Amino acid sequence: MMHIKMRTVVRHDPKASHFVAYVDGNAAGHCHYQLHGNHVWVLSTVMDPRFTEPGVEDLLIEGLLQEVHRRRLALLPYCLRTRTYLSKHHRYLALVPPAERGKFRHLAQSAPTHPLNR
């Protein structure tokens, strides 16, 4: 059995307010967000079931988080998939304002600076 490595690219489409992951040129999923002042509200992440390769969804969410960090914006992860990613990758928790972390169940459980965790 031969394993073929797929090429994954994440692109930002600011006019459509989403990030798209492409696997070998085919749209594999997208993260939809809204920009409210200096806050990015991540609303949903949708993956095409044909693209179940490990890591594609992570690369998509990582691309969005890197852009939020690069632009020095705050993150409000209303999307469950994004919250799950953040709960496993604590280096991005700083993007979520501490006062907002309590709104997001997964983050409140994993964020040591949250008042409920003291």
Residue 75: other Cβ atoms inside 10 A: 23
pLDDT of 2 reads 43
Between the two ends of the chain, the Cα-to-Cα distance in Å is 51
CATH match of 8-117 with 1.20.140.10: no
Check the CA dihedral 79-38-14-55 and report its sign. Answer: negative
- For the entire predicted model, the pTM comes to 0.83
22-59 pLDDT per residue, tens = 999 999 999 999 999 999 999 999 999 988 777 899 99
Ranges of each domain in the chain: 8-117
- Token pair listed for 115: 């008042």
